Structure 1
């Protein structure tokens, strides 16, 4: 394949192989990797997503180590892959198979490489946050609570453990300057702070360094390398190319077409629930390009439902969210509207029902490989149940009933009726008395639970304040009453006058619309 130039935002980015040719460039890159590996005893941690860039990076390291004498390849290389538990199922299956193969082949080839699948802590998972705590779905530009919890924290936890055991670590990543101008600026800035050749500082971990062996490669360089050099752990790089083609709207890749053809690098594999992007083009393309992947349509439908776009196409989920912030405070946006907080109880119960329905649908109509698909784990369900009952005082304990109604089998969790402050029939009576006044029903329910939590304590000094906080959160007549009170309080504060309110309810400063 002839060398090409990729256009990036108007700037020409030349192939990294152009100056000396493909074979020599790869040989020099392998020598660089080997020299850096032998330079010290600091263990390596390779970030592997199963995509083209991380595959090319791991392939370079693998080939470089395999060429070394056995006595020179002693220090460990950890290949880590973070499964957010909401990954595109096709990609997740690919990565899981590849990780298994990496471990087996490394042992067979006597290489110091081990593979590790990382997952977020249960209390940090996507569904525990969205359905359990009620965090609204992430959205641009700044409401992005998911990345840190699902991807960054599990990786950093692993790297931190390596640093604790060894003093330092070298993190090997498949980042490339040609990915975007923003990425190039970040890499250039870190490059200027290098304390060792080829090793950039890790801004979050002072004892970890970052090595990016393909930083100057273009998309075409990556694909050329993957197509012309066999995968050393026995996975098929052509199958990877096919997966990228399937996730591109026109099914094309730059290997056999001219520069005007969209690059496979435009295919973005990620979480199937991602609402940061306007549309999940990769999953939509997979469904459109391959009839055998039509079983993924329910996933796309649920993702779009969570995104909550109105008739005009704008995102609007205010009707699904509490008019108070997570802690019960009120906050006004720049337009004088209440900034809504977490999802309401009914919305969270709806999301759980829909998620289990989609899981059942895929198990029924999907291919054999997804007949046992688990979109939400039992551990997550137990944690969601704990949040509902213990943290949100929703001791109707609706989760087991939802589970049984959708899946047709009892929820495999212990009964907690004996630990609830009131019986189910008493709670039903309270609901009947409150009628459609769900706000005051929830307030009384919380007051009962607060009293139960302090029952039996030797010292109950915190009970009066806990009861007062519950009343402060729920004494409003409704959202309109809360809005009027918030406006009056803000007006008084702006004029530095005392406000005449029933409660000294807290009013947070103006904030972003989507903060929980």
Structure 2
């Protein structure tokens, strides 16, 4: 990351006087009103520095002045770098205990995406292709929604909220431009309006600090909640990238994939240089190699062989006379699950002690993926439990799925033989699933519409047949005989 600001924020007054002045500013801001604070904490250097400043400033206030709640929120996407995820969780645990002992109105909160919005539920369950800059489906689901939901609840309960961030102008030209623009719209001294959250304001105490300023402060001031800042420095030194993911509350924040504090599955950058450097620089971190390998397998320039030729709803679409690929196929999704579970076994068996029970994919995610496969995608063979048991070496214990939609493996193989080819097998399987689902309902409303959609999706003989028919329809449309549809499907 390019560091734009070279002049130290400590140059004019010196280190001690600058820190004292900033702590006075924070105390004054805190006592100025009754609006609660929400502090974004990623576990990285910038958010750690801001939280330490707040902690030290509020600790110096009389107990009767410590009335306003301070919520420290950390968004765990569930696909964070395992080392960082463990570091942050340990920090939050210590933080909560230390705040109670110190009598501070500070509470840590670990936020996670809803199960239906998690990375693996969307990629393995629904079949969304790995994120790309033009289809960045992950950021809003994994980062923005959890943090905005929490902040929104604080605003609804209190009328307003102040979001305290460790953002700095020196991080990038774009970040500096945004912060300078928002400074001109300040509603009060040091408070800028949030562009996406009504009645929420942003306070950035270290906006003018340089990278060196942050480290100088962290090395000069002991961490008040018991985490060792020198260990944090070691964590940064273990990789070549020097950045972190701040609290993400809008889509203007760039991907964190090239930094240490980002998602290990991120395909929005060319390479995960930080994880690669961690593995190369420390033999004790070679247990992360399967994660890097899996991330690189997801990041392929042409993944059409892994994806269905139809969109999620069964439609076929052309672009430059080529079919637009849809979601991952059943076999691809099953393969991704197998590779993920194998990586999880490797991490648990070869990682340090704290990784013994670390999950790359959680039980609720597995249950939702299973439901999506069987109920929504009509993959009635119910393959997830057998995949899990084969790789994990133990029985899959999950929410029961209605036996009325499940066939035995022998039934499935017989059906496959009778149908003769994959396309007819998938169509027949879906029709059977729809009929069996509606058979147990008191009202069979919607059954004909579902059957019609299944037939439309399974109408084609093969990929070539679908492409030929799409070209014929396109030619008719271009001739003006058929009006184009009013709405277009998303990539999936």
TM-score normalised to the size of structure 1?
0.88
Q: Cα–Cα, structure 1 residues 388 and 267, in superposed 2: closer, same or farther, change >3 Å?
A: closer
Deviation (angstroms), 1:7: 6.7
Please list, as runs of the form range in 1=range in 2, the aligned pairs for 1:174-185 lying within 5 A after superposition. 174-185=166-177
User: In the alignment, which of 267, 272, 278 is matched to residue 264 of structure 2?
Assistant: 272
Q: Map Cα deviations across residues 118-170 of structure 1 (whole Å, 9 max, x no partner).
A: 1111111111111111111112x221111111111111111111112111111
Pick aligned residue for 1:470 from 442, 448, 454: 454
- 1:240-389 residue pairs with structure 2 within 5 A? 240-248=232-240, 267-308=259-300, 315-333=301-319, 335-389=320-374
Deviation at 1:236, TM superposition (A): 0.8
Q: In the superposition, relative to structure 1, how do residues 134 and 28 fare at CA in structure 2: closer, same or farther (>3 Å)?
A: same
Structure 1 residue 84, shift from structure 2 partner: 1.0
| Closer/same/farther in 2, CA of residues 221 and 12 from structure 1, 3 Å limit | closer
How many residue pairs get matched?
Answer: 478
Per-residue deviation, 1:332: 2.2
* Alpha-carbon contact 2:381-2:407 (below 8 Å) kept: no
* Counterpart for residue 434 of structure 1: 419
Q: Which residue of 1 aligns with 2:32?
A: 39
Query: Aligned partners of 1:376 and 1:64: how far apart in 2?
Result: 39
Residues 1:411 and 2:396 are matched in the alignment = yes
Residue 267 to residue 127, structure 1, CA distance change in 2 (3 Å)? closer
Q: CA deviation at 1:267?
A: 4.4
* Residue pair 1:16, 1:218 contacting (<8 A) in 2 also: yes
Which residue matches 2:103?
110
After the TM superposition, which residues 125-204 of structure 1 pair with which residues of structure 2 at under 5 Å, given as runs? 125-139=118-132, 141-204=133-196
Q: Structure 2 CA distance, aligned partners of 1:383 and 1:293?
A: 31
1:52 to 20, 38, 45: 45
| Pairwise CA distance, 1:249 | 7.2
Output aligned runs, 1:14-93, within 5 Å: 14-93=7-86
- C-alpha displacement at 1:440, in angstroms? 2.0
Deviations 1:402-432 (CA, angstroms, capped at 9, x unpaired): 0111111111125546222655433221111
SS at match of 2:323: coil
The question of whether the paired residues in 1 share the 8 Å contact of 2:23 and 2:57 is answered with yes
Closer/same/farther in 2, CA of residues 247 and 7 from structure 1, 3 Å limit: closer
Q: What are the residue-to-residue correspondences of 1:432-511 with 2, within 5 Å? A: 432-435=417-420, 437-457=421-441, 459-498=443-482, 509=488
CA shift for structure 1 position 193: 2.1
Q: Tell me how far apart the structure 2 counterparts of residues 118 and 130 of structure 1 sit (CA, whole Å).
A: 21
2:382 matches 1:397: yes
Deviations 1:9-40 (A, max 9, x none): xx654222222222222111111111110000
Provide the C-alpha distance between the structure 2 equivalents of 1:510 and 1:375, rounded to a whole number of angstroms.
Answer: 31
What secondary structure, in the 3-state scheme, does the structure 1 residue paired with 2:38 have?
A: strand
- The answer to whether the 8 A contact 2:241-2:260 is kept is no
RMSD: 2.2
Q: Which moved more, 1:421-430 or 1:95-104?
A: 421-430
Partner residue of 1:260?
none
Shift in CA distance, 189/492, structure 1 to aligned 2, threshold 3 Å: farther
Per the alignment, residue 231 of structure 2 pairs with 239
Query: Which string of whole-angstrom CA distances, capped at 9 and with x for unpartnered residues, describes residues 410-462 of structure 1?
Result: 11125546222655433221111223x21221111111222223325555453
| In 2, Cα distance between equivalents of 1:133 and 1:67 | 51
- Higher alpha-carbon deviation: 101-110 or 460-469: 460-469
**Change in 2 beyond 3 A, CA 1:267/1:346:** closer
